[in-house]
Chain A
Amino acid sequence: MKIAFTAEETGWDSQMDPRFGRTAYILIYDDVKDELAFIDNRENANAAHGAGPQTAQKLLEISPDILITGNGPGGNSAMLLKKINMKIYTGAGEFCVKEAYQAYQKGELKEF
């Protein structure tokens, strides 16, 4: 299963970014291969408008099974992610990525 996280930096210790559209990085964890990869989203984060959909598009290209984030995507991106039935879990905004993953596994996060 592939799990995506919105994060401020690129490791397991990195702080989660509570936002979606302007998140600096998207981390992808493949739990079969036990690999953590990342996408640099800073160019999108810098867009004057429409950062959300651009970030969502990047996410669609990777097609994770689950997205873990803080507050959840805004209107435009939410619409896009819903199209592909992306499962989104929110409430992890204050954690580091590792803690966010653990919280998800323990069922402590809210489904969007």
Chain B
Amino acid sequence: MTEIVVISGKGGTGKTSIVASFSYLAGPKAVLADCDVDAADLHLLMQPDFNKGEDFYSGKRSKINPDVCNQCGRCVEICRFHAICATNSHYAVEPLDCEGCGYCSRVCPVNAVIMEDLQVGKWFISTTRLDSIMVHARLGIGTENSGKLVAQVKKEAKRIAEELNRDFVLVDGSPGIGCPVISSLAGSDFAVLITEPTLSGLHDLKRIIELVNQFHIPAGCIINKCDLNPQLSSEIEYLLNRRNISHIANISFDNVFTRAMVNGQTVFEIAHTNVQDILIESWKKIKRITKQKGK
């Protein structure tokens, strides 16, 4: 069973559309893991049925019991996040500002502060319209993005793939370079980097290359919208070569991605274009590379 994670550093490069395309090609053989939990979009193309859902807890928040509180103000004194507000002798915690450090609960002389487990989101196991299994999640707004939910989604996807004897786990990774991406990458066999030939894109690509190297995860790159700036595309190809990243494909700017997205479909489900052939070749290449590495 091979785990392939698709990441992009920067948003808007086409990562989610490409994941959906690979999912289409792999069919039920690939269990999908949507780890882009902060702004999950993959479900718009896959139409999962949200069959099984579970609450997800991470971290804590304080809450003051007004019946016990003696208004001594000790909690306000020590809170570094200005999360406790006293209005008309009524002390209350502002949930959006509370970091869950618990300091207030430790200093309250009358034990009026309770630390509550924080439900930060929900995760789901679904069947998609393409008959594949998809594990996905929703993070509540203003909550701290953590690797834990990503780890949960991946763990479930892997468990299901092993149970049902599926060949692949295909991960739509988190953007950026922080904790959630690292969690997306942990334990993966191969990383597909989606980039675009813009200065911003190049800047972010360099940072995620550093990350995949740090975790010794073999990687390949797809340059999307490559004809936007041929000079930068060349620069990227040169960078890939120097950093030992496979160059999987170049895709010219094509509004077929948007047209498909508007229809809630993958690019394979609308009229044939060149993009489809490139994606088919790309998926074949990825399978070949991961097979060679003994998966």
A-side interface residues toward B, CB under 8 Å?
18-19, 22, 46-49, 51, 70-72, 74, 93
Contacts and interface: CB of A to CB of B under 8 A. Distances in A.
Nearest to A94: B295
A71 B148 contact: no
Interface in B238-257: none
A47 B187 contact: no
Given A19-B187, A48-B59, A48-B146, A71 B151 contact: no
Interface string B165-183: 0000000000000010010
Contact of B216 (A22, A49, A71): A71
Nearest to A24: B155
A93 B59 contact: no
Contacts of B186: 18-19, 22, 71, 74
A51 B216 CA distance: 20
A51 B179 CA distance: 12
Tell me the interface secondary structure of chain A in the complex.
loop
How many chain B residues sit at the interface, stated as a range, is: 10 to 19
A98 B256 CA distance: 50
Interface in B254-281: none
A46 B187 contact: no
B142 to A, nearest CB: 15
Contact of B187 (A48, A49, A51, A71): A71
Nearest to B118: A48
B47 interface: no
Contact of B148 (A18, A19, A46, A70): A46
Interface in B59-108: 59
Given A22-B151, A49-B179, 18 more contacts: A18-B186, A19-B186, A19-B187, A22-B186, A46-B148, A47-B148, A48-B59, A48-B146, A48-B148, A49-B146, A49-B147, A51-B148, A70-B187, A71-B187, A72-B216, A74-B182, A74-B186, A93-B187
Contacts of A19: 186-187
Interface of B: 58-59, 144, 146-148, 151, 179, 182, 186-187, 215-216
Given A22-B151, A71-B186, A74-B182, A48 B58 contact: yes
A22 B150 CA distance: 12
A71 B182 CA distance: 12
25 contacts: A18-B186, A18-B187, A19-B186, A19-B187, A22-B151, A22-B186, A46-B148, A47-B148, A48-B58, A48-B59, A48-B144, A48-B146, A48-B148, A49-B146, A49-B147, A49-B179, A51-B148, A70-B187, A71-B186, A71-B187, A71-B215, A71-B216, A72-B216, A74-B186, A93-B187
Contacts of B147: 49
Nearest to A18: B187
A49 B149 CA distance: 11
Closest 3 CB pairs of A and B: A48-B58, A18-B187, A48-B59
Nearest to B179: A49
A46 B216 CA distance: 25
A48 B186 CA distance: 15
A82 to B, nearest CB: 15
A93 B295 CA distance: 11
B134 to A, nearest CB: 22
A72 B216 CA distance: 10
